[in-house]
């Protein structure tokens, strides 16, 4: 579905960090505070056209290897022509491809973890975050304690994080 927005909405976009620079999957370098425009028909995919971003922070983790690479997440504004995609194949992901993008801020690790600690809309969102984001033992313990009565979240923690030694081994093969 294509929509036109004159007023910007806030989204999240993930990047690899290469020599301190924000680099997308197509090796394009982006900078905080800059505005980016693209012409042509907006569409998704590797051969698509537009700036991809996500409504929810945890959805960005699908596109980059936060477990094994240096990655980061930025808050963004998008507007103009926007293709909206709801992908339910691997769970529910809200994705956008837009003709306009402005990077507002690179989130710190503490801000990313704080966001995850506030996920309340569903267990699947939290499970995806736990699965795809590198967590310290202290962070694992926090989620284990906070969700000690939630078998879905505990199962995700056990399976994807396990003991610290198991977790480090999974990172090498995941």
pLDDT digits (tens, 9 = 90+) for 41-66: 998 777 789 999 999 999 899 888 89
For the chain, the average pLDDT equals: 87
> pTM for the full model?
0.86
3-state secondary structure of 5: strand
Q: Please tell me the distance from the alpha carbon of residue 142 to that of residue 110, in angstroms, as a whole number.
A: 13
First-to-last C-alpha distance (Å) of the chain:
34
95: phi > 0 → left, psi -120 to 50 → alpha, else beta; which?
Answer: beta
pLDDT tens-digit readout, 62-107: 888 898 889 999 999 999 999 988 766 555 667 899 999 999 999 9
More confident residue, 138 or 169: 138
Q: What are phi and psi of 95, to 5 degrees?
A: -125, 150
Average pLDDT rounded to a whole number, residues 1-9: 89
pLDDT of residue 47: 78
Report the pLDDT averaged over residues 21-41: 95
Residue from 3, 23, 6 nearest 15 by CA: 23
* pLDDT confidence bin for 174, thresholds 50/70/90: very low
- Under the banding of pLDDT at 50, 70 and 90, the label for residue 168 is low
H or E segment to which residue 38 belongs:
none
């Amino acid at each position: 579905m294509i929509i036109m927005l004159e007023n910007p909405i806030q989204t999240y976009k993930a990047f690899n960090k290469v020599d301190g620079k924000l680099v997308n999957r197509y090796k394009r370098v982006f900078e905080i505070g800059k505005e980016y425009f693209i012409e042509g028909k907006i569409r998704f995919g590797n051969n698509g056209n537009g700036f991809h971003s996500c409504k929810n922070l945890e959805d960005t983790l699908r596109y980059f290897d936060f477990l094994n690479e240096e990655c980061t997440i930025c808050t963004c504004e998008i507007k103009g022509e926007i293709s909206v995609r709801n992908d339910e194949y691997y769970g529910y992901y809200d994705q956008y491809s837009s003709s306009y993008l402005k990077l507002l801020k690179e989130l710190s690790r503490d801000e990313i973890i704080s966001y995850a600690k506030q996920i309340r809309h569903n267990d699947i969102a939290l499970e995806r975050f736990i699965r795809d984001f590198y967590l310290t033992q202290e962070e694992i313990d926090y989620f284990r304690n906070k969700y000690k009565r939630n078998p879905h979240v505990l199962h995700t923690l056990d399976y994807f994080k396990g003991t610290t030694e198991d977790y480090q081994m999974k990172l090498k093969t995941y």
